[in-house]
Amino acid sequence: MFTRIGLLEHVGYGNLGDDATVAALMHHIKARRPQASIIGITLNPYDTQKRHGIISYAIRRECKLAPPPPTPENKSTPRVRLKAVLSKYPILFLVLRAVKTVTIRAPRVFFQEFLFLIESFRIAKCLDLLIICGGGQLRDSADGPYKFPSTLFKWVILARLTGARCYFINVGAGPLKTWPARLFLRYALPLADYTSFRDQQSQLTIRQIGFTGTSRVHADCVYGLPLPERTIGRHTLVLTPTSSDNWGASARG
């Protein structure tokens, strides 16, 4: 059975529901397969590793490094002065900008993406099962079709190329307003070995874009997270986490 499992979720920046989804799946995997090795594939690998205690990797190339802190622009630098001069000649400025994009930026992005795909292929090759775990991941409202939809498509393709099975577990769908997003998901979902949605509307949304495969509807994964035991005293309310998760809190009255 599956001993090396990857949990793919657009998580890592403080969304409680998404982190609870990951925690719930981890709990149930460990309950059924105590020997399983679990890794995370997320937006913020450092946060996921710290929060959930699992080795984690970047879901996209730009997630490998934190964005640089903003720095005040120095108006005396040669670059700034050159841009100021070129701005007076908009046609020349646009031409030079296009040349820079074609000759420098585009090749650099292509090469970086190629290296990231090789790294991601190696990660997928180490997995027996890739789980796209819950949350509203089948949508293009988060920065367009080339964030969530294309990312899911790439990881599903990598899983199939490396022989790993792929599950979509209780995912939410919509909105899907762009044709590239609908195309990415229409071709990604049939490649999965199992697909379930968290509500009937999500299932209907995906069927409307052309998915005709077998799917099920089950409650959101987060409802599978065990509740902590509650001990109520006269002046103290203590929430004691279960042994399988790190959820808990205490409040004094």
pLDDT at res. 85: 67
- The rounded distance, in Å, linking the Cα atoms of 33 and 131 is 15
For the cut 60, the answer to whether the pLDDT of residue 74 exceeds it is no
Show me where the domains of the chain are located: 4-65+111-226
- Please state the rounded mean pLDDT for residues 222-243: 58
pLDDT at res. 239: 40
The domain over range 4-65+111-226 is classified in CATH as 3.40.50.2000: yes
- Minimum mean pLDDT among 62-66, 75-79, 222-226: which range? 75-79
Question: Who has greater pLDDT, 238 or 134?
Answer: 134
Query: Smallest Cα–Cα separation from 189: which of 163, 152, 137?
Result: 152
Of the pLDDT bands very low, low, confident and very high (cuts 50, 70, 90), residue 237 is very low
- Please state the rounded mean pLDDT for residues 208-221: 94
Percentage of the residues of the chain whose pLDDT score is greater than 90? 58
pLDDT at res. 184: 97
- Please state the rounded mean pLDDT for residues 43-49: 94
pTM (2 decimals)? 0.78
pLDDT at res. 232: 44
For the cut 70, the answer to whether the pLDDT of residue 72 exceeds it is no
For the cut 50, the answer to whether the pLDDT of residue 242 exceeds it is no
42-50 long-range contacts (CB < 8 A, ≥24 apart) are 42/8, 42/9, 42/10, 42/11, 42/12, 43/10, 43/11, 43/12, 43/13, 44/11, 44/12, 44/13, 45/12, 47/12, 47/13, 48/11, 48/12, 48/22
- Please state the rounded mean pLDDT for residues 179-189: 96
- The rounded distance, in Å, linking the Cα atoms of 40 and 49 is 8
Q: pLDDT tens, 138-170?
A: 999 988 899 999 999 999 999 999 999 999 999
User: Tokens standing for 163?
Assistant: 């022989």
Name residue, tokens 């900008």. 97
Query: Smallest Cα–Cα separation from 66: which of 107, 13, 102, 143?
Result: 13
**DSSP 8-state symbol, 253:** -
- The rounded distance, in Å, linking the Cα atoms of 175 and 237 is 41
Which alpha helices (H) appear in the chain, and where do they start and end?
16-32, 45-52, 78-86, 90-100, 106-125, 148-162, 179-188, 200-208
**DSSP 8-state symbol, 102:** I
Q: Which amino acid is it at 77?
A: T
Degrees, nearest 5: CA angle 65-36-14: 35
> What is the C-alpha radius of gyration for the chain, rounded to an integer number of angstroms?
22
Of the pLDDT bands very low, low, confident and very high (cuts 50, 70, 90), residue 71 is low
Of the pLDDT bands very low, low, confident and very high (cuts 50, 70, 90), residue 203 is very high
- Minimum mean pLDDT among 53-57, 66-70, 154-158: which range? 66-70
Question: Who has greater pLDDT, 77 or 136?
Answer: 136
Percentage of the residues of the chain whose pLDDT score is greater than 70? 80
pLDDT at res. 235: 47
For the cut 50, the answer to whether the pLDDT of residue 111 exceeds it is yes
Degrees, nearest 5: CA angle 163-39-225: 115
- Please state the rounded mean pLDDT for residues 55-65: 88
The whole-chain average pLDDT of the chain stands at 83
